[in-house]
Structure 1
């Protein structure tokens, strides 16, 4: 069995169909084992013998849409991929805080690569630390006190499309602990 983390896009905890117990039920109904959830923002862990990650993502997304009306997106990474990211310590010496967020944006398209240079209007709010090839993730430090921070996600969508999802490094670490 392989342990996976599924990062669901577009989850709004105030929507009754997007609550953790319903999300877990969809995963269990698909035959996955050891299904768990973390926080209320679409972080699901599970076990499966399936090794075809794009097939898993498609199966899960179809089920979420059919059963709960969730059209967002599903991005999966294995425990080993996430452990490798943690071992590389991408945020060494940096701290997540109220004004500064350490973020990981997972990209579905494995061929996409690094995002390229930041637009000038974002350089005061965002610092791209790099692109982690193994987890297909953009690593960034976000200045939450800068009003242009919201434009960071919009820019990433122009680069990668909507098949991305962002989590704080704290959330990624919590999910890893649950794997």
Structure 2
């Protein structure tokens, strides 16, 4: 059975209905197997036999709204899509820290246009767009909060609310969790 990561938009650990156990419960209620969470910001890994990602995303979004009152966007990526993204080593030689905050912004719309790295300065350095993972890979300087904020505003203005951003460290943690689940 294929492995997926659901990257949920707008999940805050402080939200009463956004706890990992409640989120896992929704996924288990949908019949998914090997459900596990990764950190407390809306990252759920699971197995599912249906492999139509848009259908799974819609089912997850409807269940979250119905069961927990959460209107969250769900962006699915398969293990192989995320593994290829990490293996591409988009940030060679860089260390994730406040002045080089490495991010991957996942885009829901599969027809999203390629992002040209030098098209403008959105408040970050856009490294590249990975079409297979539908992710914008970027470096922000979080020691300059206004620049980082400008980048997030640019992302949403460019791609709407069908996006969610993860630090590169979180992407790597998701891969590790997927690999743990794959060994079961």
TM-score normalised by structure 1 residue count: 0.94
Q: What is the alpha-carbon distance in structure 2 between the residues aligned to residue 144 and residue 56 of structure 1?
A: 34
Aligned pairs for 1:106-145 within 5 A: 106-116=106-116, 117-120=118-121, 122=122, 125-145=123-143
What is the match of residue 3 of structure 2?
3
Displacement after TM superposition at 1:118 (Å): 4.9
What is the match of residue 75 of structure 1?
75
Displacement after TM superposition at 1:158 (Å): 1.1
| Number of residue-to-residue matches in the alignment | 176
Q: What is the alpha-carbon distance in structure 1 between the residues aligned to residue 26 and residue 124 of structure 2?
A: 36
What is the match of residue 45 of structure 2?
45
- Mean Cα deviation higher: 96-105 or 70-79: 96-105
Unaligned runs of 5+ in 1: none
Aligned pairs for 1:5-44 within 5 A: 5-44=5-44
Q: What is the alpha-carbon distance in structure 1 between the residues aligned to residue 152 and residue 72 of structure 2?
A: 15
Native 8 Å contact 1:107 1:136 kept in 2: yes
Displacement after TM superposition at 1:119 (Å): 3.9
RMSD, aligned CA: 1.2
Native 8 Å contact 1:102 1:140 kept in 2: yes
TM-score normalised by structure 2 residue count: 0.92
Q: How big is each residue's C-alpha offset from its partner over 1:6-26, in whole Å with a ceiling of 9 and x where there is no partner?
A: 000011111110000000000
Q: What is the alpha-carbon distance in structure 2 between the residues aligned to residue 14 and residue 89 of structure 1?
A: 33
